[in-house]
Amino acid sequence: MAEGGPGFPLGRRARLAVFASGRGSNLAALIAAFPPGGGDPHAEVVLVIGDRAEAGALTIARDAGIAAVHLPYTRGRDAFEWAAQAELAARAVDLVALAGFMRVLSPAFAFAWRGRLLNVHPSLLPAFPGLHAVRQALAAGASVSGCTVHFVDAGVDTGPVIARQALPVLEGDDEATLQARIQAQEHRIFPAAVRAVLRGEARFEAGS
């Protein structure tokens, strides 16, 4: 895929791909907002790529009638990314959403999809990037946490922020309770952030 790609707004319904490794609750929220077949004027989910065959996300996609492709990571990142690029090109994808995708994409992939590659992360970035963000927040004694949707750049959870939602950490919260409240907000802000990008209201700033 050529670097840069189309600018937003496209003037037509965007074709959205989702990469996911796990349960797929964010994928489900994106499918509800952007159903296949054109229920939303901004976008439709046309492809789901999962690196784990057993991921609930792939089942959710198939049940929704969306192309669901398992691309194993066993032959390494380059092989995964070549295969992913081929799938994205074959389905003329405009925008990629990482929804619980537990792999770090290469700087080259991030550059090729610059401005068209979004991630959701369960903390108020730049606080607590990387793995186990909810556990990190609790261990640090944070009184506030939340979630962030951002453009992906060459770093890990470092790209320009599109949307964030703060949440209080409650007395007695454990990883499961805090994560559940954070995820409920992710399901709201991720589709909203996709819409903002597709409307041209949020951009990966030139030079950043």
Q: CA 18 to CA 207: how far, in whole Å?
A: 26
Query: How near is the Cβ of 104 to ligand GRF at its closest, in Å?
Result: 12
35 preceded by a cis bond (ω within 30 of 0): no
Pick 123 or 204: Cβ nearer ligand GRF: 123
Q: Does 183 bind ligand GRF (CB under 6 A)?
A: yes
Q: Does 148 bind ligand GRF (CB under 6 A)?
A: no
The token duo for 108 is 């080259």
Query: How near is the Cβ of 98 to ligand GRF at its closest, in Å?
Result: 7
Q: CA 153 to CA 129: how far, in whole Å?
A: 13
The piece of 36-44, 46-54, 118-126, 199-207 that touches ligand GRF (CB under 6 A) is 118-126
Binding map of ligand GRF across residues 8-27, x = CB under 6 A, - = no contact: ------------x-xxxxxx
Q: Does 120 bind ligand GRF (CB under 6 A)?
A: yes
Q: Is 121 a residue of the active site?
A: yes
C-beta neighbour count of 171 within 10 angstroms: 5
Strands (E), the chain: 14-20, 43-50, 67-70, 95-98, 117-121, 144-151, 161-168
Q: Does 185 bind ligand GRF (CB under 6 A)?
A: no
Residue 148: strand pairing partners: 121, 164
The token duo for 50 is 């999962």
Burial (Cβ within 10 Å: 0-12, 13-18, ≥19) of residue 53: exposed
The token duo for 6 is 């189309």
Q: Does 40 bind ligand GRF (CB under 6 A)?
A: no
Q: Does 121 bind ligand GRF (CB under 6 A)?
A: yes
Query: How near is the Cβ of 150 to ligand GRF at its closest, in Å?
Result: 11
Query: How near is the Cβ of 56 to ligand GRF at its closest, in Å?
Result: 7
Q: CA 183 to CA 130: how far, in whole Å?
A: 16
The residues of the shown chain that bind ligand GRF, judged by CB under 6 A, are 20, 22-27, 99-100, 120-122, 183, 186
| Residues that are catalytic | 121
